[in-house]
Structure 1
């Protein structure tokens, strides 16, 4: 309903330039193609219509007239004076005719017969666009009025109301109301409006004629944003593209807009890290195309590529050489303001993104922001959103609460015995038990620890936008403030976005677009993930079942002010100490700006330039406090990273009709891209001299390490595109691009990649059955390339320490460089169809694709005896094949009630085809416990989870040792950490002014190794560990000699044995179905707005991630992951799953 109202307002604003109000009238834009009269040229005997069209073009004016009245009229000796206004010249032109000129609004005119009364027009203002034509001078017999509404009862502005057979008519006002004089009761009123079915109504013996308009089943051609920001008719595209409107991102919103796309686009797989509201997201379109390189699409904002790198994350690494703990410090797309976004176009695969070259080999996401509007005065839009967030308790920490803190079935009786993370104690009986602070308390279940420790998170988002126009420039200025308090105590995010978008015309031929965005983002104490140090979530996952978290809150420090270690492991912090004493702050200031001038050479040829700029300054500081159990003197890290990317582009565009049926659209251009990164970092471990004084001046110089880096990368490109169309139903497109990379050696740094696409709209070329309203077939083929990171071709050195006063140089890095690297190649083919059936009540979009990457640049593990840990090779190959299906249906289309549904499904089958030489498997990461790994295996899907299985005999029986403990066996392959199936189902119900939208989504076919569940078994928290608590556990299986196992092991030893030795119990299917989003919205009908100070108003109740309807992994969120890299399928002690609910208010003035 809201969309229809907005459409109606837009249509009303375009009425003077696009559609005259009377069926008999035409504004002849293309009917005649006479050349413009040169200044001060005198006409002899010429047609009036020809001169009017030339004047319209010269002044860029809107001139409305009834073409039949121009027939046969000629003018003689009219002198065109370029120094006069359009109005004066036209008055002079019409002086000798029986026609008169009426100015409707600025630069918009009507030509009427002199017998038509002008009073009927002059009584209305041009600003409200109520009247575009006059009435006949005859005296009317009937005066009528009425209201025109849509199916939901909302008034429709700008509807044309015409007395059939005459030019007597009017338009509805902003509330859908109209008044009109008609000759008689037999008069027939014709109601027309863009997007709605034409209606004819006989007046009869009525003075009030109300009409309800039905939506037009034959819709206008859909226009979408494609590569380089060029808008094209969707029917012309030979590849799949999906578009999400900005309003779909702003109601049940996420702090990272990428997460708002979940479940809405077929073939789009989005995984958010378990790192809270400021974390990053992994975006993959149609599968992973590189074995160890980048697999995420290029993000483009208003034509400018932006950096979407993760500025900090956790990755243990194939050889445990990485960081075991840390924080996800966000990505680039997360900082965008959803209130600024007009639409997001998802370009799937290399074909759609061919003109962007190597950087879009994984597809592209085009973000188009809102621009200004030429409304009367300054338009104001205010949006206010509040979301509360709490833990999704039913999906988190579903533990046993029968046994409490302790070991070997005994509750603690001394302070020393309380120093444990184990819940292997005695049965909880309510008797007194010792606590680690030396106080005895009842030995009972502490079930409220989660509610006591975690906050109800809140997010307040307020934005205001001003839109307006001068004579030559439209503009939109917007400001946004986001204030988030996370569920984890002391975690906050503050983000301010400022944006200015302008469009201007500097004369008839020169126009420009200029956009600028300034973003300030401040994060405090982002959640740590994966390992235990400083990770409050880890502590809460393993907190013994009888230990009240309030005890920890009130006993953080010992007598010296140092951390009071509460367990047997100094690396597991008291959660309050971790959130209140550890300090982590990062501030990012970002500018995204572009300027795009355009020179229109002729009506079919133009020249366009573009310069784009993406710059951010990122400051990060992390302090592990003095007195921390595992680092007594604390540690310090401070870094400053500055990144700048500049794109300079020049292109020539052609849009040319060739005869009556053929057309050619082409563009040819070049691009120069330059990236520069400067990094300065200071780290110091166990280094503060003066206790609790956290300043760089207090660091022990001997412990200080200073790192400086300068990284530069360039890509120079030329490209072209040519599209030929025939009669509006056959479109053939070819593109070509060549990139030259600075990161590869001369002679091997160039790659050429073409693409071809065909679109055939069968419904416009052939006679179709009545059930088929639209049918299109499409196909495409494309190639794209890719390079490597800077400085991977040669050895380079760094200075390290000094000897006898001289600096020492050493080889920097642990990877063998490869000077012979060449670009990888990705080849993509696609076939698809689009159909609209049963009067457009059912829409279908289906695609099949094949994507193969060869010469992939792979980082392969090598023997550490070489002095290195890995080497780069051009050897990898991987293939992705899949299908995508999008169904849209109008299930109920009543006068007061409508029900629309949308279903999308994607399936991607990936296969690693080859690695280096005879190498059949490549380890890329591993779990913190060390029993599970992520591999790329030849012949298997991407990101295989492998791990140690139970030792088994020839019959598959588990083998136990003499103590009754299961033995570890060989490494087993469990499955892919990437789900091949993604589904989304959205239902929208409308009743009058109320709409209800429900989104459900899911993923299927993948696996996950859960380190959190491994912890739960190790420390006796899982419900399954209740078995054998009293009498021990006898495992089903055999002994090493092959006999049936009869040994009984203590439960603690039996289950704890699995943690780091065996992965099998902790690998689960990651299938899930989630109630992702519910929106209940009320839009105030336009008929009530006249009494309010608003042009539009809506109010919504929203909820997001409300419930997990189905999952197969206990305790954790099945989507959980600790980083957004290529090692998917492993989680460990991340931020618990949350749900959010709140309100959204939108006002337009």
Structure 2
């Protein structure tokens, strides 16, 4: 009867039918169930104006849900429930559909019909089991997956004031380690389930709306709908590029209905964090008495009576801003999404800045009921003034505090003092500007001749134009006091370098997907081909004596008779692939998935490789023997196996190349000729990674607790390494690249999430993930151990060899400090015994031969953590939301390379070392009296890399419905947030997060300073 209350429930135990497999470019969200209208015999007339609908929204335990959004579908009209879960809304007629949505619960739609009072029960959307996730060339429901696929929604990514979306993934995903830098326009490093290569790259493949790429810095965070990470063998659908995992990015699309305008923006301040305190004037002079007793520190023309803080001279608090405006909507035949974003980051180094413009247009047109055209297109333009920290930032650490940085327009003469060059002069005399223009996107057609068959064709492209211009200003010696340059720091002639490059990658996908259901059997079959080509070229030149005026920075205005360089080159890579996948489900609880990809690559003489995968799943909670228990709401076992590939090597790695213009004598004269000068393995093949995964997914305790437990074993074979050959064969490096190594990563992943809404309107979430990983080089057959990690005069400090983690530190074992001459006389020492004094480090004689040399080096840990974790907290109360993310790792080591790198005894030292070092009247058992250029690499410089960081803290407020109605807006939220608020660490350096290559990470030398970000933001929709 009219006015009778109706209760609408969405039971979790009865999932909807399997989602149809679709490409990432055509993904649509799973439609929520629509509650059936009342019987036609009692229905109201088809049109009934000004119907007032009221009601209450509760959870599965009949507790009221405040803050639930209630909107009229296809319009911007709506309201939110109050503290008692109650709402009231006027609708135009009885055909209106009300949409109920709330974070953590499944969205529900209800036809008004003849009802004026409703009681709505929202089911918790725990682990989004019925949501669609992208798995590569298609989609699947979360509950139907047989592989380890992690997902992060775009709403979570938007909360972070960062340039790249991967920075916002820190702490969110088990098995995914993300190492980011505070440097503007820096691509964070991602390691999926450990390091599986040494020389062929360890970064994952990125897929953006079907476009395969290695870089997603061109994407605005606000344009992202979701990010999926394929961590296990399910990534094998991408074959030869999938060994390091696959990150799939899906961007936003428009929805049918009223046009919506959305603004998301924030303004922030970034400041250097965790700066190392250096010795002041008095501490430094006291140290020089031991390290450089002949150095005159009282020469007024060269020094002054105050302390120079070189970090304060080079660094600053820097503003950052991010603004994004989008318009979306559509009708029955088409949808559109258009956005413009502008991002600025001025960098905490004074001569550093970055600006980026992004434009995106995603459209979909239903040409007919069977044919659909869609496009996802984006343009980005980056403009960066870059800084070269390879020597400059190290000079800030080493610079003497008794020399002024700058007086007026004149610079302190550090090099004349016997120290480094003036780092402020190095920064200000160098102007490097990098312009990056990038067009990325795809055009696709989808044709469904019958309901169960979909044909998909797409053209994907990624076009990049780069321009890198570097100008070095000329400066000369001025005097023995303060100088425009001093000592050996000089640039006699100005110099201009210009490098212009472009690249084009295009991919053509053609797939056919069959999706059929036979009774309790569901079958999806995918078959397709992928054609890919990548071309690139560059041209580079440099000249001297170019004018100082920036308007005249052209090579043609330099000295044509003193051209420093003139070069060009390019590359061509092609791949042809065939993909197939079958997904089968019986009774919606017995799951099977298998795929096979065949890849042909121009990078290898062995043209074709085959990459299979298979997975099974069992929804245990749907079995009859689980019906009478109330602890578990959902339980699934899944397991997968597969082989993945890695062809990330140069295009000519197996091709013999000839050097030209080589002089030689012929017929009593000098002639220029051509010769092959290197040796290459012409049978090179791609690295192959075999991965096994087994895990459980569960939901329990009335849908409040959910989680996953995974075990994985990931073994890479035929990995690339260098084999040493006799010099008689003529190769200049005495080595050649070949497939002779094997790596293994084994580990466990744990994920737990708790969600609950209390009676007083308070809702909270607690989530966490933990990854335990063991990395080992298990088969370096016939090759020499891989040495890397150069630290100045100490040489190479890492060694990768059988039985050890990749990039292990290989150094002498420092076992204390000599306290007196008697200890020196009784012990083996490094180098000349006559030069050893009390207060010097002593080392372990590992081989027992009475001599300390390189044969006494030991393996002393690796930069790879034994475990890493994330903790995520959330709180909601009457429009307020509070979120905190904690991130950290444990069990790894880092090398304090900046402390070890000393070419001059007059280099500065850290204040902590100045206070702790050995002195005759203050003996130390751990810290030597000096660290000089003769100090060898040892465990003294190795420190713990464990840390815990408050990665994000955000407080937001969403304005109530009454205020939204008065302001005529759809939604508005203001927030304040802080990133990297504090870090608890044992490392004495700037940061234990040290990006680098697989062989030399974990060494702090020239790392960009870590930054703390404080921001205010606004999200507003119309």
Q: Would you call these one fold, judging by a TM-score over 0.5?
A: yes
| CA displacement at 1:208 relative to structure 2 | 11
Match of 1:488 among 349, 358, 365: 349
CA deviation digits over 1:114-138, x for unaligned, max 9? x85527x3315xxxxx79xxxxxxx
TM-score under structure 1 length normalisation: 0.74
CA deviation digits over 1:1107-1126, x for unaligned, max 9? 012x12103211134x3554
Give the aligned partner of residue 222 of structure 2: 339
Matches of 2:131 and 2:409, distance apart in 1:
63
Partner of 2:913, secondary structure, is helix
Give the aligned partner of residue 923 of structure 1: 787
Alignment of 1:701-716 (within 5 A): 701-716=561-576
- Of 1125-1134 and 290-299, more deviation after overlay is shown by 1125-1134
| CA displacement at 1:513 relative to structure 2 | 2.0
- Of 927-936 and 756-765, more deviation after overlay is shown by 927-936
Give the aligned partner of residue 44 of structure 1: none
Match of 2:317 among 453, 456, 462: 456
| CA displacement at 1:631 relative to structure 2 | 4.4
Give the aligned partner of residue 992 of structure 1: 878
Give the aligned partner of residue 396 of structure 1: 275
TM-score under structure 2 length normalisation: 0.83
Match of 2:829 among 930, 955, 959: 959
| CA displacement at 1:444 relative to structure 2 | 4.2
Matches of 2:267 and 2:91, distance apart in 1:
46
Cα 1:1069–1:63 shift into 2, 3 Å: closer
Match of 2:462 among 614, 626, 633: 614
Alignment of 1:26-105 (within 5 A): none
Q: Quick check: 1:661 aligned with 2:520?
A: yes
CA deviation digits over 1:241-269, x for unaligned, max 9? 11111122222222232221111110111
Cα 1:375–1:1028 shift into 2, 3 Å: closer
Matches of 1:521 and 1:300, distance apart in 2:
21
Give the aligned partner of residue 978 of structure 1: 864
Matches of 1:360 and 1:213, distance apart in 2:
43
Alignment of 1:819-898 (within 5 A): 819-860=682-723, 866-869=730-733, 870-890=735-755, 893-898=758-763
CA deviation digits over 1:929-949, x for unaligned, max 9? 434422211111121112344
Give the aligned partner of residue 354 of structure 1: 236
Matches of 2:34 and 2:701, distance apart in 1:
37
Matches of 1:365 and 1:1009, distance apart in 2:
30
Alignment of 1:394-433 (within 5 A): 395-401=274-280, 403-404=282-283, 406=285, 409=288
Matches of 2:535 and 2:312, distance apart in 1:
46
Q: Quick check: 1:1143 aligned with 2:1001?
A: no
Partner of 1:706, secondary structure, is strand
- Is the 2:378–2:439 Cα contact (8 Å) retained in structure 1? yes
Alignment of 1:735-814 (within 5 A): 735-745=595-605, 748-768=606-626, 769-787=629-647, 788-800=649-661, 808=672, 810=674
Give the aligned partner of residue 974 of structure 2: 1099
- Is the 1:589–1:617 Cα contact (8 Å) retained in structure 2? yes
CA deviation digits over 1:1100-1149, x for unaligned, max 9? 1011011012x12103211134x355421212032222111111101000
Matches of 1:264 and 1:861, distance apart in 2:
43
Give the aligned partner of residue 153 of structure 1: 66
Alignment gaps of 5+ in structure 2: 17-31, 82-86, 93-97, 476-484, 817-822, 843-851
Cα 1:1135–1:1059 shift into 2, 3 Å: farther
Alignment of 1:560-709 (within 5 A): 565-568=413-416, 572-627=420-475, 629-658=489-518, 660-683=519-542, 687-688=544-545, 695-697=554-556, 698-699=558-559, 701-709=561-569
| CA displacement at 1:770 relative to structure 2 | 0.2
| CA displacement at 1:708 relative to structure 2 | 1.6
- Is the 1:403–1:545 Cα contact (8 Å) retained in structure 2? no
| CA displacement at 1:490 relative to structure 2 | 1.9
Give the aligned partner of residue 389 of structure 2: 529
Cα 1:570–1:231 shift into 2, 3 Å: farther
- Is the 1:621–1:637 Cα contact (8 Å) retained in structure 2? yes
- Is the 1:408–1:424 Cα contact (8 Å) retained in structure 2? no
Partner of 1:482, secondary structure, is strand
Q: Quick check: 1:118 aligned with 2:38?
A: no
Give the aligned partner of residue 718 of structure 1: 578
Matches of 1:811 and 1:922, distance apart in 2:
29
Matches of 2:457 and 2:249, distance apart in 1:
19
| CA displacement at 1:916 relative to structure 2 | 4.0
| CA displacement at 1:1031 relative to structure 2 | 4.7
CA deviation digits over 1:357-398, x for unaligned, max 9? 11112110001110012122x211011111101111xx2212
Partner of 1:479, secondary structure, is strand
Matches of 1:1028 and 1:712, distance apart in 2:
56
Cα 1:699–1:982 shift into 2, 3 Å: farther
| CA displacement at 1:889 relative to structure 2 | 0.9
Matches of 2:296 and 2:589, distance apart in 1:
76
**Greater gyration radius:** 1
Cα 1:957–1:1142 shift into 2, 3 Å: farther
| CA displacement at 1:236 relative to structure 2 | 1.2
Cα 1:886–1:808 shift into 2, 3 Å: farther
Cα 1:424–1:985 shift into 2, 3 Å: farther
Matches of 2:987 and 2:35, distance apart in 1:
70
Match of 1:938 among 798, 802, 810: 802
Give the aligned partner of residue 510 of structure 1: 371
CA deviation digits over 1:87-119, x for unaligned, max 9? xxxxxxxxxxxxxxxxxxxxxxxxx55x85527
Matches of 1:24 and 1:262, distance apart in 2:
36
Matches of 2:354 and 2:868, distance apart in 1:
31
Cα 1:978–1:632 shift into 2, 3 Å: farther
Q: Quick check: 1:1080 aligned with 2:955?
A: yes
Give the aligned partner of residue 177 of structure 1: 88
Give the aligned partner of residue 849 of structure 2: none
Partner of 1:1117, secondary structure, is coil
Give the aligned partner of residue 57 of structure 1: none
| CA displacement at 1:270 relative to structure 2 | 1.4
Structural RMSD (CA): 4.0
| CA displacement at 1:232 relative to structure 2 | 0.8
Cα 1:803–1:1065 shift into 2, 3 Å: same
Match of 2:908 among 1019, 1024, 1027: 1019
Partner of 1:222, secondary structure, is coil
Partner of 2:166, secondary structure, is helix
Cα 1:949–1:341 shift into 2, 3 Å: same
| CA displacement at 1:1024 relative to structure 2 | 2.5
CA deviation digits over 1:911-943, x for unaligned, max 9? 1112241x3522134223434422211111121
Cα 1:237–1:366 shift into 2, 3 Å: same
CA deviation digits over 1:53-92, x for unaligned, max 9? xxxxxxxxx99998996xxxxxxxxxxxxxxxxxxxxxxx
- Is the 1:459–1:483 Cα contact (8 Å) retained in structure 2? yes
CA deviation digits over 1:507-562, x for unaligned, max 9? 110012211010100101x23233x2xx1x2232223344454xx253535xxxxx
CA deviation digits over 1:276-303, x for unaligned, max 9? 1222221110111112211111001011
Cα 1:436–1:969 shift into 2, 3 Å: farther
| CA displacement at 1:356 relative to structure 2 | 1.0
Cα 1:718–1:1112 shift into 2, 3 Å: same
Partner of 1:1115, secondary structure, is coil
Cα 1:890–1:806 shift into 2, 3 Å: farther
Q: How many residues are aligned here?
A: 929
Cα 1:935–1:212 shift into 2, 3 Å: same
Match of 1:364 among 246, 249, 255: 246
Matches of 1:588 and 1:863, distance apart in 2:
44
Q: Quick check: 1:379 aligned with 2:260?
A: yes
Give the aligned partner of residue 1119 of structure 1: 993
CA deviation digits over 1:477-498, x for unaligned, max 9? 1000011111111211010000
| CA displacement at 1:149 relative to structure 2 | 8.3
Cα 1:220–1:587 shift into 2, 3 Å: closer
| CA displacement at 1:639 relative to structure 2 | 1.1
